[in-house]
Homo-oligomer: A and B are copies of this chain.
Amino acid sequence: MSDIEFIQVEGGVTAPAGIRAAGVHAGFRKDPKRLDAALVVSDGPRTTACGMFTKNVFCAAPVQVDRELLATHTPRAALLNSGNANAATGEPGLAIARKSAQTAAQALGLADGEVLVASTGVIGVELPWTPFEKGIPMLVEKLSKDGGHDAACAIMTTDTHSKECAVRFTYDGNEYAVGGMVKGSGMIQPNMATMLAVVTTDMPVSIDAARVALKQAVDVSFNKVTVDSDTSTNDSVFFFSSGMGAPVANADEAASVLAEALRLVCENLARQIAADGEGATKLVTVYVRDANDEEDADRAARTIANSPLVKTAIAGHDCNWGRIAAALGRSGASFDQYGVDIDIMAMPVLRAGLPCGFDEDEALRRFEDDEIVIEVSLGTGGGASTRVWTCDLTHEYIHINADYRS
């Protein structure tokens, strides 16, 4: 298994065999040029599906509906819309989420309960029915292997580009693929952040193994992205295996291979989200090691990544280790200040808690890169580590979130 090569290829959610998708303008948005409804379908009888959802106490109607569905059914398709989040919409919101799922299932010739739903956009506004009435038949009509990109475009909100990724690999002499699409966590008034992702494969996998693999992948990818520390009412990740690839002899080993491929795809998509955070000019990777445990590593990395002072410093190309140290110190992670090392863009800036002089000109040169890497060793003797992705905090973020009124 260790010698398996995962090759990144063109394409996204429809890269695996047995997965079709489509994206159309259904009318959730006013602009007729903007796609706003997507459908992803897993063909074939061996489909496996699972999902992960927001932990926000305020959760949107589609999330509530999906949780019910996944407890009792094996969904084979996902219907997604942008332009309206169907959140804070009470009973009418739940009713329309259920009705859209049922209508899509009928149009696809599936049983009731076999279509998951997701929404992103304005909250607190009733989700209109007309766009579904018009859009669902169009989506079903357009479903194809080439529809992945349209689907990825149809779920965009403040994303500046669609986000897709696919890898291919050969296992036990057979070729499989994992693909995915995601929309970012940027926010536009009066919306809230929403991360929607669909990841797919053709490798056969049991539902239990799929759940484990998805959780492992999401925990180190989407759950490690923080654009502005806000999470949404609608965050959803769907996983489908069409099971259309060759059967696997050793299910456990195959599941491990799939988990690794899923991780790669989700990590790639997560980095795309962070790099495309609202107003972002830089992807920022914060790597924390030598922590007592993973919780401490996560606390430390996340506090640095969420610090507005660190994020504005990076926007200003300022190699400001002091702000990183200050964030670290208040993170709640346990460490001794005289055990801490910090590197910025591979330049040592703090050793054993004390500043080491660095070349300011060289720092400015390295800050020209698109990705800024901050590495911290807590020096506790513990071996836990983590990586978190974020972006810089710029005037454009304020512009998008304060100056714009819908």
Residues of B within 8 A of A353 (CB): 58, 88, 90
When the two chains form the complex, which single residue of B56, B90, B322, B328 contacts A190, counting CB atoms closer than 8 Å? B322
Cα distance A337–B392 when bound, in Å? 32
CB within 8 Å for A322 and B192 given contacts A88-B353, A230-B308, A337-B57:
yes
When the two chains form the complex, which single residue of B190, B308, B394 contacts A320, counting CB atoms closer than 8 Å? B190
Do A354 and B88 have beta carbons less than 8 Å apart? yes
Residues of B within 8 A of A316 (CB): 189, 401-405
Q: Which residue of B lies closest to A335 (CB)?
A: B57
Do A124 and B58 have beta carbons less than 8 Å apart? no
Residues of B within 8 A of A231 (CB): 326, 329-330
A312 at the interface (CB under 8 A from B): yes
CB within 8 Å for A326 and B233 given contacts A312-B402, A353-B58, A355-B124:
yes
Q: Which of A383-406 contact B (CB under 8 A)?
A: 392-395, 397-399, 401-405
Do B308 and A401 have beta carbons less than 8 Å apart? yes
How many subunits of this chain does the assembly comprise? 2
Q: Which residue of B lies closest to A316 (CB)?
A: B402
Do B59 and A337 have beta carbons less than 8 Å apart? yes
Do A193 and B326 have beta carbons less than 8 Å apart? yes
A123 at the interface (CB under 8 A from B): yes
Cα distance A190–B319 when bound, in Å? 9
Q: Which residue of B lies closest to A315 (CB)?
A: B402
A100 at the interface (CB under 8 A from B): no
Cα distance A330–B302 when bound, in Å? 15
**A322 CB to nearest chain B CB (Å):** 5
Cα distance A330–B336 when bound, in Å? 30
Q: Number of A interface residues at 8 Å Cβ cutoff, please give it.
A: 62
A242 at the interface (CB under 8 A from B): no
Cα distance A313–B188 when bound, in Å? 10
Residues of B within 8 A of A228 (CB): 307-309
Q: Which of A51-70 contact B (CB under 8 A)?
A: 55-59
Do B394 and A398 have beta carbons less than 8 Å apart? yes
Do B393 and A395 have beta carbons less than 8 Å apart? no
Do B312 and A229 have beta carbons less than 8 Å apart? no
CB within 8 Å for A308 and B397 given contacts A230-B323, A313-B189, A316-B403:
yes
A306 at the interface (CB under 8 A from B): yes
**A62 CB to nearest chain B CB (Å):** 15
When the two chains form the complex, which single residue of B322, B354, B395 contacts A398, counting CB atoms closer than 8 Å? B395
When the two chains form the complex, which single residue of B57, B187, B318, B405 contacts A309, counting CB atoms closer than 8 Å? B187
Residues of B within 8 A of A322 (CB): 87-88, 123-124, 190-192
Q: Which residue of B lies closest to A325 (CB)?
A: B58
**A262 CB to nearest chain B CB (Å):** 25
Q: Which residue of B lies closest to A307 (CB)?
A: B230
A84 at the interface (CB under 8 A from B): no
Residues of B within 8 A of A232 (CB): 326
23 A–B contacts, CB within 8 A, in A order: A56-B326, A57-B337, A58-B329, A58-B353, A88-B325, A88-B350, A88-B353, A88-B354, A88-B355, A90-B354, A124-B355, A187-B323, A189-B313, A189-B316, A189-B320, A190-B318, A230-B307, A230-B330, A308-B393, A312-B401, A313-B401, A315-B402, A395-B395
User: Residues of A at under 8 Å CB distance from B?
Assistant: 55-59, 87-90, 123-124, 187, 189-193, 228-233, 306-309, 312-313, 315-316, 318, 320-323, 325-330, 335-337, 340, 350, 353-355, 392-395, 397-399, 401-405
Leading 3 A-B pairs by shortest Cβ distance:
A316-B402, A56-B329, A312-B401
